[in-house]
Amino acid sequence: MEGLRVKNQKTCDLCGDNQAELKVRQVDKDGKATEIEVCAECARRRGFAEVGKIQLDIAQIVAEMKDKVVDEDAKLVCDVCKMTFADFKRQGRAGCAHCFVAFDDKLEPLVRRVQGAAQHVGRAIRSGRKDAQLEMSVERLDAELKSAIQAENYEKAAGLRDQLSRARTEQEEKDTGVD
């Protein structure tokens, strides 16, 4: 009887031996998602997360945040909605999408703790996920362009300007429904 598996019990896609306990989804730059199922051991070896930690109680984490508001948290402010990091900790949610950029250094450990990875796109229909990735791409290109100009690397800046222009055009076409 050894070697028999219970029907519908998934095995790890990486080692092929152990029972899969975690689904890992990776979204590439084109918005295509690849999903694999891995065992706890393979997840740990590859640094995905500890399976037990993924199942943390979110309410407990928010409660812990509220108890750990310090004076310096009030100094970190989102330049768009003016929410402070102290307000974020008290409320347990962001004021706008730009808060995640403003509080990035402080939020990364929290996001890792909750979901076992540093970047979250979220559950969305494919078009929603692609829109989110396009917006992140525009923001990244804009930041890289500013950095290249500041470093006086004008050749790189010109290429980034062209990429940014194409990305913004694509974003405008999506917003207006033009195909």
Alpha-carbon distance of 119 to 124, in angstroms, equals 15
- Whether 42 and 84 map to the same domain: the answer is no
Residue bearing tokens 């100009």: 149
- Whether 89 and 108 map to the same domain: the answer is yes
Residue 165 pLDDT greater than 70, yes or no? yes
Domain that holds residue 153: 126-176
DSSP letter at 38?
E
- Whether 91 and 102 map to the same domain: the answer is yes
Q: Is residue 142 part of a domain?
A: yes
User: Residue 83: helix, strand or coil by DSSP?
Assistant: coil
**pLDDT at residue 119 in the model:** 53
Residue 83 pLDDT greater than 60, yes or no? yes
Residue bearing tokens 């029907």: 7
Q: Which of 4-8, 99-103, 170-174 has the lowest mean pLDDT?
A: 4-8
Q: Is residue 139 part of a domain?
A: yes
**pLDDT at residue 5 in the model:** 41
Tokens at 128, concatenated: 């929603």
- Whether 89 and 107 map to the same domain: the answer is yes
**144: Cβ contacts below 8 Å, ≥ 6 apart:** 160
Predicted TM-score of the model (pTM): 0.37
How many domains is the chain partitioned into structurally? 3
